[in-house]
Amino acid sequence: MTKKILAISAALIFSASVLPAADEKALEIAKSMMKAMGGQDKWSSAHFVRYDFFVTAGGKRVVERSHLWDKQTGRYRLEQTNKRGESLVVLFNANTKQGTAYINSRKIDGVEADDAVKDAYAAFINDMYWLSMPWKWTDMGVNLKYLGNEKRKDEPFDVVQLTFGNVGLTPGDQYKAYVSPASHLMTHWEYVLQGGNKGSWDWQYTDTGGVKLASNHTSDDGKSINMGDVRILADAPTEFFSDPSRTLKTLK
């Protein structure tokens, strides 16, 4: 389950938003969706993003991570429990991919540390996509194509296909996004990954700081991906990016 989830990270690029390769209708839908989510300017100016990544499958919590991202500088904090049941904290910069890792607040070195930082960056790429995928439609390398109107559960949707140029970790992924003409939000997502895995998820949203981000995802087979404590913050103590003994549960 974890490996499949980590594969969904095709086009998460944290550069300036640009117009994608898109037909007129697809681009119109993308712009309306972003307006409904608060507007690109508000999302671009967001400073700190706090969220979790909780995966439940078969009635059990199988993945549990907590994140804090300084969106303006790249500073990042990832907290999780490793396979040995120990507290793992990785403090790194999402722009440089450089950082340090700590187990039970003790700094680790060598290959173990390098792997921890690499895995933390991969988790950031993956988990942020589940949080903010609709904001990524206008990134460089994303191709949008309008596929027409389709009904799901007697509700009409505009369907947009997303494919990717040579960007991200898995550019061979292909997505179908279902956008409600009423709310202008993407509430259903289907994908075929470059490795061949297929899936679909329904999306729910929360509003924080005037911006809509995902709050929860559910699949027809009973899995869920919950984003936990989703907040956009104007400020966050710098110690959260330097002190491994801190915990994001105490961030107010």
Residue 239, classified by CB atoms within 10 Å of its CB into exposed (0-12), middle (13-18) or buried (19+), is exposed
In whole angstroms, what is the distance from residue 20 CA to residue 137 CA?
7
Look at residue 168 in the predicted model and tell me its pLDDT: 61
CA-based nearest residue to 248, from 116, 73, 91: 91
pLDDT tens for 188-215 read: 999 998 888 899 999 999 999 999 999 9
Look at residue 6 in the predicted model and tell me its pLDDT: 43
Look at residue 167 in the predicted model and tell me its pLDDT: 61
Question: What residue numbers bound the domain in which 95 lies?
Answer: 2-250
Q: How many domains does the chain have?
A: 1
CATH number at residue 104: 2.50.20
Q: Which residues of the chain have pLDDT under 70?
A: 1-21, 166-170
Residue 201, classified by CB atoms within 10 Å of its CB into exposed (0-12), middle (13-18) or buried (19+), is buried
Q: What is the pTM of this model?
A: 0.90
Q: Across-strand partners of 48?
A: 70, 233
